[in-house]
Amino acid sequence: MRALWRRNDWERNLEDELLLHVEQRAEDLARSGVPPREALRRARLELGPPETYREQCRGSFRLRWFDELRQDLRYTLRTLRKAPGPWSSAS
């Protein structure tokens, strides 16, 4: 529940942790003799797209259903605003 109420903090911490993993892998590669820029590039390639990990973390914290619900509600409200239908009070 804390992740829902403090979502920005949670997302920022997740971003920091993912960045830490990339940096640690790049340091390992640099220690093995790979130039620093190339080590960082390789680390990013090895670990893959960060959005994949973000989605997995959101799923494990059960935040995905909340995101989908929010998107569905926004879509519903947007649709109702565009075509309010016969129940609206517009005369």
Higher-pLDDT residue of 4 and 56 is 56
Report domain extents, the chain: 2-80
Q: State yes or no: pLDDT of 84 exceeds 60.
A: yes
Q: State yes or no: pLDDT of 14 exceeds 70.
A: yes
Angstrom distance (rounded) from CA 70 to CA 39: 39
Angstrom distance (rounded) from CA 77 to CA 84: 10
Higher-pLDDT residue of 82 and 24 is 24
Q: State yes or no: pLDDT of 4 exceeds 70.
A: no
CA atoms within 13 A on the CB side of 83: 3
pLDDT bin (cut points 50, 70, 90) of residue 35 is very high
Q: How far from chain centre, in Å, is Cα 6?
A: 14
